[in-house]
Amino acid sequence: MKTCVIWGMGDIGEALAEKARAEGFSVIAVVHKENRLDRSKQLADLVLECDLGDPRQVQAAVVAISQQVETVDWWIYSAGDIVAAPMNKMDPSQWKKVLDANLNGFAYTLMLGEAVLATDSVITVIGAVSEKMRLPGLSAYAAAKAGLEAAAEVAARDLRKPVQVLRPGAVKTSFWNRVPFRIPPGALSPSEVASKAYDFYQEKKSGKFDL
């Protein structure tokens, strides 16, 4: 049985877990927020808690994964966080929190987890149309998502594996409750994002893909 590891079990992460299991994967979920634990345990074969901004916790999660499976076929980074605040009024801890969830955690998972990736593994990253995120109050989020795209592009060359950045224009998630903007018409559901992610996984090609 193939194995899928999902770093981040928000609305999209949960939909990805459902899709991966439906396609026959064994799923390992890495959860940051305690309130997602119960739901994650219903969707995954193994659930690990981890602060993705802490390399030591990421390393511990990787060790736990390696003790359960020999290799990972589908490595998904779907973690994220958002803060809506003007840069001149944002606390440095808020900036760090957003960068850790959206960018630094991704880097840590690959720095520390490459050894458990299968030879033909695919790395999927849930990004955003970053150039459209440069809105008042979203400096940290926009910077993190733009940096994520750059890091993923270089990671594909360094690891010589497919690294796919999926860029949904908007997704119906709880993020919209935390920003002063209305969800636009035509926003995708998390399950639609998950379905498209699986389609791209099967293609095994690196790149940025607008959904």
Q: What CATH number does the domain containing 78 carry?
A: 3.40.50.720
Boundaries of domain holding 141: 3-210
Cβ–Cβ under 8 Å, residues 171 and 188: yes
Question: Total domain count for the chain?
Answer: 1
Q: Average the pLDDT over 93-120 and give the result.
A: 96
Summarize pLDDT for 65-76 with one digit per residue, the tens.
999 999 999 999
Residue-level pLDDT at 176:
63
DSSP one-letter string for 76-115:
EE---------GGG--HHHHHHHHIIIIIHHHHHHHHHGG
Backbone angles phi, psi at 88, to 5 degrees: -75, -10
Q: Are 112 and 58 in contact (CB under 8 A)?
A: yes
Alpha helices (H) along 23-69: 37-43, 55-68
pLDDT tens column, 4-51 = 999 999 999 999 999 999 999 999 999 987 667 777 888 999 999 999
Tell me the pLDDT tens digit for each residue of 115-164: 999 999 999 999 987 677 677 778 998 999 999 999 999 999 999 999 99
Rounded CA-CA distance 2/121 in Å is 10
pLDDT at 34: 64
Question: pTM, whole model, 2 decimals?
Answer: 0.93
